[in-house]
């Protein structure tokens, strides 16, 4: 029973207890969810401090046999990437509880129970080291999100929830087939064992085999990311979900896809991954530009943020398939950044909706005069989201673009258009919503941040600044994990981001090409 | 032979118990009439529990009985226990159902016991004639059960349809048996196997026709496509607990027979029957899952879903391996629990005269009856195949066995149809959790103890099979090795 197990199991215990709470004691349900998620977060904060250097997947390993035949283990461990994604999940869950305090008034008990179950599933996805266990968590996280969207969402919630479930399900059954296939070949589900077998040459897939397995995994992940053209479930799900659902969906669930690509697709099927890289990068770039262009013309706030996610996640995928150290570091950093800043965007949009009961940009205007602090918080988030230096997204986008440039300069040139466009649509949206003359409705209903809302907003803004000013708190452990991934894709990159002799850069350029 | 009679009787104990108590109940009904309504149910439950005990006891004296006509082994015990568990889960919601429909008789329980006795016999049969006898005992009782509500037109239709088509199918089976007897001169499964593996084995065409005819007969009982047409009408028309029983009990027994005959006697002709079963499996999964998308009646939807699930089990048979047999056994157990559980929820909601059976009638169930809704959610998630439920592990083992036997296309297509299936199960979830309460839900009475048990027990079973499937899979694996 180590720290990581506690972080994983606390939400599960919380969920089970929450189910037993009588329906009438809504206050207790809220407090219980708050207490459990906060405790989980506090425990998880200790993780980075205990995260010693060394072999990456040895950290916090728990490996217990679960089912004898086929051999399935309860095998969890954290590496430098999953560590931060776990923290992201545990940070956002209590904030989601806070933000739903008053806005969720029907079936309170179930709402918080599902939120805790979701946290359990998400944390599990990021730390499972057994392919089977990974699939279990992957699917388990689907169920609570389905209910969160379907029960507490807006008008078209049912359509959105079913679409979300079916898209993910369709992708994941193929992944299940691939997982079973791998097991039949190797008699193991253990990720470290598979990687070891591949490295030692005891396991080698034929090119056709590798390509099909890669695609089976990749499609499941690409739907979750979502990569253009598999993104159509995302705007629906985001717009219809309640605020907490949108936050968890955008900030953490989408990362399941990119994490999966990084953690499974690249190390297990390096040949196929490199072969497909130009195609995938093309789709990512189309996603970046298309997402930004569509976001620009959205009349609906949530839809705008949703499409901006498509654009931002395109950067992550692009960074991963640049096959450079910086690109991968940037991709992971961008995963975390997007979690923080888009989480904050959805959070504040949710606050606006609670006040004005509308998501249409046209219904706003002049919010800055009515609610100056709320506007300031939103401005910070907007600036972070468009990549202003000293705020978090800048670091991630810069690394991705730099890493991509080392490999393929023309990819960078296209992707950079997305950066410009993001400034356009975000600032234009900010102008329309917050500046101008406040209408009667806005003046009457839009009040400034309350203490509870401050408590939800401040941690996120603090993170934006911290991650923007001092990325070195996070990048070294990320770098070790991504360096290993690169290593497994048979490019040995020796240098680190912080110390980069030019000679090595040239070698890397040569290798990447 | 007489020296072994005692041992033979032990091996035949479950069937004996069920038949004796069944006969006793008929006498009791004459004495007590409707005063004994509760007693009949209780006695049936006790009998089935005793039957399970007897089956487990008989398993410790495993071996052939009555000159090799019965074979009591782990495989037989597995299916005997399974059909009796299905029986218990059918009786539990029946208290509520029969009282509500004003139709409490011992006759219902007697028919149920006889049908289960027939299924136990099928599970242990090692002789084609015994298979046929078991099949007939089980079928004739279930034809009557399907039409148990005499005044209900739909039930009459269901019963008649089931009877006519069922007799046809049994005739096909018998025809196949006759051909086998003609070709090999024996009806004993082990002897047939010996006759078919020798160098002077009969012409494959002859055996192929016999196998096809027998598959038609048994395929009807498991409602595999293209012999599935009866299932939706019968399930819809039959009283709901009976529909639950039909979807699990006879199906499990018929699968036991299929597995035993095809893996034992026809093992050496695997290459001949594999394409046949492959085709039937794919067709069942496709027809079942796609037709279920269009249904508005929950019982009809579950009928199509049960066709699809028969398809999954046929995938395991197509794998033609011990792993496949074990996977089929595990799946049938998981399927029985989740499907009977789901039907129990329908029993609860449908009300007097079974008025409420549409998907819309489940609207808002979670608000009035959170327990029922939660249990039904577990069953539906299990039917979809979401991890941590028995249905998921069942599917996982089946497709694992299929991939081991290099059935890549069947696996991929099967998994894709199972993703399609998620849609129609989700519709019920949507109704229960995301809509305002319907008339049916508003009219629903509080859960009776029997129904509560009929919902909670299979739900626990489904979760246990989903989280700790190892013990059952081990047992299935060991038993599967006996079938050869």
Q: Say yes or no: A23 contacts chain B, CB-CB below 8 A.
A: yes
Domain carrying residue B168: 2-480
- Of the candidates A374, A377, A366, A368, the residue with the CA atom closest to the CA atom of residue A441: A366
- Note the pLDDT of residue A495: 36
- Are B430 and A158 within 8 A, CB to CB? yes
Among A20, A165, A212, A240, pick the best mutation site for testing chain B contact (most B Cβ within 10 A): A165
- Read off the pLDDT band of B476 (50, 70, 90): confident
**pLDDT value at B23 more than 60:** yes
C-alpha A73/C-alpha A82 separation (Å) is 19
Which of A11-25, A46-60, B95-109 comes out lowest in average pLDDT? A46-60
Helix/strand/coil (H/E/C) assignment for every residue in A349-404: HHHHHHHHCCCEHHHCCCHHHHCHHHHHHHHHHHHHHHCCCCCHHHHHHHHHHHHH
- Read off the pLDDT band of A490 (50, 70, 90): low
Q: Which residues of A touch B430 (CB under 8 A)?
A: 150, 158, 161-162
- Are B474 and A143 within 8 A, CB to CB? no
**pLDDT value at A497 more than 80:** no
The CA distance from B254 to the nearest CA of chain A, in Å, is 27
- Are A143 and B386 within 8 A, CB to CB? yes
Q: Say yes or no: A229 contacts chain B, CB-CB below 8 A.
A: no
Q: Which helix (H) or strand (E) covers residue B412, if one does? A: helix B408-434
Peptide bond into A242 cis (omega under 30): no
Helix/strand/coil (H/E/C) assignment for every residue in A37-69: HHHHHHHHHHHHHHCCCCCHHHCCCEEEEEECC
Cβ-based neighbours of A500, under 8 Å, separated by 6 or more = none
- Note the pLDDT of residue B341: 93
B295 in Cβ contact with B308 (< 8 Å)? no
- Are A169 and B422 within 8 A, CB to CB? yes
- Nearest by CB to residue A139, choosing from B386, B434, B474, is B386
- Reported as a single tens digit per residue, the pLDDT across B323-359 is 889 999 999 999 999 999 999 998 888 877 777 888 8
**pLDDT value at A57 more than 80:** no
- Of the candidates A236, A20, A244, the residue with the CA atom closest to the CA atom of residue A111: A244
For the residues B150-159, what does the mean pLDDT come to?
87
- Nearest by CB to residue B387, choosing from A110, A136, A162, is A136
- Are B470 and A68 within 8 A, CB to CB? yes
| Residue A512 is assigned to a structural domain of this protein | yes
ipTM, interface predicted TM-score of the complex: 0.87
Q: Which residues of B touch A140 (CB under 8 A)?
A: 386-388
- Nearest by CB to residue B404, choosing from A142, A151, A184, is A184
Beta-bridge mates of residue A128: A76
- Are A180 and B469 within 8 A, CB to CB? no
Q: Percentage of chain B with pLDDT > 90?
A: 40
B127 in Cβ contact with B220 (< 8 Å)? no
C-alpha B446/C-alpha B369 separation (Å) is 8
C-alpha B79/C-alpha A171 separation (Å) is 35
- Are A184 and B399 within 8 A, CB to CB? no
Query: How many structural domains is chain A composed of?
Result: 1
Q: Which residues of B touch A165 (CB under 8 A)?
A: 422, 426
- Are A143 and B415 within 8 A, CB to CB? no
b/e code A331-342 from CB counts within 10 Å (16+ = b): bbbbbbbbbbbb
A359 in Cβ contact with A301 (< 8 Å)? yes
- Reported as a single tens digit per residue, the pLDDT across A438-453 is 778 777 787 888 888 8
Q: Which residues of B touch A23 (CB under 8 A)?
A: 370
- Note the pLDDT of residue A200: 80
C-alpha neighbours within 13 Å on the C-beta side of residue B321: 16
Which of A306-315, A373-382, A483-492, B272-281 comes out lowest in average pLDDT? A483-492
For the residues A267-283, what does the mean pLDDT come to?
88
- Note the pLDDT of residue A501: 46
**pLDDT value at A496 more than 50:** no
Peptide bond into B98 cis (omega under 30): no
Which residue of chain B has the CA closest to A107? B367
- Nearest by CB to residue B418, choosing from A67, A143, A173, is A173
- Are B399 and A161 within 8 A, CB to CB? no
Mean pLDDT taken over chain A: 85
- Note the pLDDT of residue A508: 56
Helix/strand/coil (H/E/C) assignment for every residue in A102-128: CCCCCCHHHHHHHHHHHHHHHHHHHHE
Beta-bridge mates of residue A67: A72
Which residue of chain A has the CA closest to B418? A173
A166 in Cβ contact with B430 (< 8 Å)? no
For the residues B165-170, what does the mean pLDDT come to?
90
Among B378, B434, B469, B475, pick the best mutation site for testing chain A contact (most A Cβ within 10 A): B434
- For Cα atoms A168, A172, A175, give the angle at the middle one, nearest 5 degrees: 155
- Reported as a single tens digit per residue, the pLDDT across B70-84 is 889 889 999 999 999
- Reported as a single tens digit per residue, the pLDDT across B406-447 is 888 888 888 888 888 888 898 888 888 888 888 777 777 888
Q: Which residues of B touch A124 (CB under 8 A)?
A: none
Q: Say yes or no: B422 contacts chain A, CB-CB below 8 A.
A: yes
Among B400, B436, B480, pick the best mutation site for testing chain A contact (most A Cβ within 10 A): B400
Cβ-based neighbours of A209, under 8 Å, separated by 6 or more = none
Q: Percentage of chain A with pLDDT > 70?
A: 94
- Note the pLDDT of residue A493: 36
* Three-state DSSP state, A290: helix
Scan residues 362-381 of B and list those with Cβ closer than 8 Å to A: 366-367, 370, 381
b/e code B96-130 from CB counts within 10 Å (16+ = b): bbbbbbebbbbbbbbbbbbbbbbbbbbbbbbbbeb
Torsion of CA A21, A26, A32, A37, to 10 degrees: 120
**pLDDT value at A174 more than 60:** yes
Q: Which residues of A touch B412 (CB under 8 A)?
A: 174, 177
- Read off the pLDDT band of B64 (50, 70, 90): confident
Count of residues in chain A: 513
* Three-state DSSP state, B103: coil
| Residue A387 is assigned to a structural domain of this protein | yes
Scan residues 92-151 of A and list those with Cβ closer than 8 Å to B: 107, 110, 135-136, 139-140, 142-143, 146-147, 150-151
Q: Which residues of A touch B470 (CB under 8 A)?
A: 67-69
- Note the pLDDT of residue B138: 93
Q: Which residues of B touch A158 (CB under 8 A)?
A: 430, 434
| Residue A319 is assigned to a structural domain of this protein | yes
Q: Which residues of A touch B434 (CB under 8 A)?
A: 150-151, 157-158, 161
- Nearest by CB to residue A181, choosing from B403, B430, B470, is B403
Q: Say yes or no: B472 contacts chain A, CB-CB below 8 A.
A: no
| Residue A41 is assigned to a structural domain of this protein | no
Domain carrying residue A504: 273-513
Greater confidence (A491 vs B402) lies with B402
- Reported as a single tens digit per residue, the pLDDT across B444-459 is 788 888 889 999 999 9
DSSP state, residue A502? H
Q: Which residues of A touch B404 (CB under 8 A)?
A: 184
- Are A166 and B387 within 8 A, CB to CB? no
Q: Say yes or no: A206 contacts chain B, CB-CB below 8 A.
A: no
Beta strands in B350-463 (DSSP E): none
**Count of CB contacts below 8 A, A vs B?**
80
Q: Say yes or no: A449 contacts chain B, CB-CB below 8 A.
A: no
- Read off the pLDDT band of B32 (50, 70, 90): confident
| Residue A334 is assigned to a structural domain of this protein | yes
**pLDDT value at B92 more than 70:** yes
Which residue of chain B has the CA closest to A20? B371
The CA distance from A137 to the nearest CA of chain B, in Å, is 8
The CA distance from A196 to the nearest CA of chain B, in Å, is 23
For the residues B287-308, what does the mean pLDDT come to?
91
Which residue of chain A has the CA closest to B366? A107
C-alpha B373/C-alpha A464 separation (Å) is 42
- Are B400 and A139 within 8 A, CB to CB? no
Greater confidence (B19 vs B184) lies with B19
| Residue A133 is assigned to a structural domain of this protein | no
Q: What is the pTM of this model?
A: 0.89
- Are B426 and A162 within 8 A, CB to CB? yes
Among B379, B426, B471, B478, pick the best mutation site for testing chain A contact (most A Cβ within 10 A): B426
Q: Percentage of chain B with pLDDT > 70?
A: 99
């Amino acid at each position: 029973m180590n720290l990581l197990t506690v972080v994983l199991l606390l939400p599960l215990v919380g969920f089970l207890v929450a189910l037993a709470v009588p329906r009438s004691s809504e206050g207790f349900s809220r407090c219980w969810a708050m207490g459990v998620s906060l405790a989980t977060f506090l425990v998880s904060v200790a993780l980075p401090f205990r995260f010693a250097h060394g072999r990456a997947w040895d950290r916090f390993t728990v490996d217990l046999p679960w089912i004898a035949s086929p051999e399935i283990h309860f095998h969890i461990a954290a590496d430098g990437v999953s560590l931060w994604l776990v923290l992201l999940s545990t940070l956002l869950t209590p904030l989601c509880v806070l933000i739903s305090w008053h806005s969720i008034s029907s079936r309170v008990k179930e709402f918080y129970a599902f939120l805790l179950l979701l946290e359990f599933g998400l944390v599990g996805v990021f730390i499972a080291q057994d392919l089977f266990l990974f699939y279990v968590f992957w699917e388990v996280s689907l169920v609570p999100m389905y209910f969160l969207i379907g029960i507490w969402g807006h008008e078209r919630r049912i359509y959105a929830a079913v679409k979300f479930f079916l898209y993910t399900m369709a992708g994941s059954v193929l992944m299940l087939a691939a997982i079973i296939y791998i097991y039949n070949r190797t008699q193991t589900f253990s990720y470290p064992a598979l990687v070891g077998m591949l490295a030692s040459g005891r396991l080698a897939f034929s090119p056709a085999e590798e390509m099909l397995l890669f695609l089976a995994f990749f499609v499941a992940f690409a739907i979750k990311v979502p990569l253009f053209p598999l993104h159509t479930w995302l705007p629906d799900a985001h717009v219809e979900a309640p605020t907490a659902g949108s936050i968890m969906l955008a900030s953490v669930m989408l990362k399941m896809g990119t994490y999966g690509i990084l953690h499974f697709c690249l190390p297990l099927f390096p040949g196929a991954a490199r072969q497909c890289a130009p195609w995938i990068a093309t789709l990512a770039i189309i996603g970046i530009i298309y997402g930004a262009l569509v976001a620009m013309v959205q009349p609906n706030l949530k839809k705008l943020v949703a499409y901006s996610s498509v654009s931002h996640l395109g950067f992550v995928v692009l960074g991963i398939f640049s096959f450079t150290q910086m690109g991968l570091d940037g991709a992971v950093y961008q995963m975390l950044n997007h979690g923080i800043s888009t989480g904050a965007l959805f959070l504040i949009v949710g606050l606006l909706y609670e006040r004005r009961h509308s998501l249409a940009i046209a219904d706003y205007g002049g919010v800055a005069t009515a609610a100056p602090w709320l506007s300031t918080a939103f401005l910070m988030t907007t600036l972070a989201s468009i990549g202003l230096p000293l705020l978090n997204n800048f670091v991630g986008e810069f690394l991705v673009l730099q890493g991509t440039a080392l490999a393929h300069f023309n990819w960078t040139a296209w992707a950079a258009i997305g950066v410009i466009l993001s400034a356009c649509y975000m600032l234009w949206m900010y102008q329309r919503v917050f500046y101008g003359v406040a209408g009667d409705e806005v003046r009457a209903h839009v009040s400034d941040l309350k203490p509870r809302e401050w408590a939800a907003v401040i941690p996120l803004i603090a993170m934006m600044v911290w991650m923007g000013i001092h990325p070195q708190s996070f990048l070294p452990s990320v770098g070790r994990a991504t360096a290993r991934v690169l290593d497994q894709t048979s490019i040995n990159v020796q240098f680190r981001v912080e110390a980069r002799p030019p000679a090595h850069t040239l070698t890397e350029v040569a290798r990447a090409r | 032979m007489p020296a072994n009679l005692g041992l033979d009787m032990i091996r035949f104990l479950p069937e004996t118990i069920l038949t004796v108590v069944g006969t006793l109940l008929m006498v009791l009904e004459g004495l007590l009439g409707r005063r004994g309504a509760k007693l009949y149910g209780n006695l049936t439950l006790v009998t089935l529990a005793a039957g399970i005990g007897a089956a487990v006891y008989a398993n410790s004296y495993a071996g052939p009985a009555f000159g090799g006509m019965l074979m009591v082994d782990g495989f037989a015990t597995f299916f005997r226990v399974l059909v009796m568990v299905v029986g218990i889960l059918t009786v539990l919601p029946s208290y509520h159902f029969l009282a509500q429909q004003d139709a409490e008789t011992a006759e219902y329980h007697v028919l149920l016991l006889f049908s289960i006795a027939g299924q136990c016999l099928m599970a242990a049969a090692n002789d084609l004639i015994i298979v046929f006898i078991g099949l007939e005992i089980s079928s004739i009782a279930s034809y009557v059960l399907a039409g148990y509500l005499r005044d209900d037109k739909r039930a009459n239709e269901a019963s008649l349809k089931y009877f006519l088509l069922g007799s046809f199918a049994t005739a096909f089976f018998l025809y196949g048996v006759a051909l086998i007897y003609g070709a090999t001169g024996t009806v004993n499964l082990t002897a047939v196997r010996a006759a078919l593996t020798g160098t002077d084995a009969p012409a494959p065409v002859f055996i192929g026709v016999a196998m096809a005819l027998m598959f038609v007969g048994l395929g009807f009982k498991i409602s595999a496509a293209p012999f599935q047409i009866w299932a939706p009408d019968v399930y819809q028309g039959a009283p709901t607990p009976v529909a639950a029983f039909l979807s699990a009990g006879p199906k499990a027994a018929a699968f036991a027979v299929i597995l035993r005959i095809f893996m034992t006697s026809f093992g050496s002709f695997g290459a001949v029957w594999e394409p046949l079963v492959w085709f039937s499996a794919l067709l069942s999964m496709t027809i079942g899952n796609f037709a279920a998308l269009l249904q508005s009646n929950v019982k009809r939807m579950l009928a199509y879903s049960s066709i699809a699930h028969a398809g999954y089990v046929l995938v395991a048979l197509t794998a033609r391996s011990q792993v496949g047999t074990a996977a089929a056994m595990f799946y049938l157990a998981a399927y029985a629990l989740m499907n009977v559980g789901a039907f129990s929820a329908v029993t609860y909601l449908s009300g007097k005269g079974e008025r409420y059976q549409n998907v819309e009638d489940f609207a808002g169930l979670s608000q009035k009856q959170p327990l029922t809704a939660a249990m039904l959610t577990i069953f539906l998630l299990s039917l979809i195949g979401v991890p941590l439920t028995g249905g998921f592990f069942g599917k996982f083992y089946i497709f694992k066995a299929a991939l081991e036997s290099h059935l890549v296309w069947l696996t991929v297509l099967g998994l894709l149809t199972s993703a399609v299936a998620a849609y129609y199960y989700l519709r019920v979830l949507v109704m229960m959790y995301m809509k305002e309460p319907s008339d049916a839900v508003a009219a629903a009475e509080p859960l009776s103890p029997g129904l509560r048990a009929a919902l909670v027990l299979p739900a626990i079973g489904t979760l246990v099979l989903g989280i700790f499937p190892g013990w059952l899979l081990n047992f299935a694996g060991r038993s599967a090795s006996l079938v050869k």
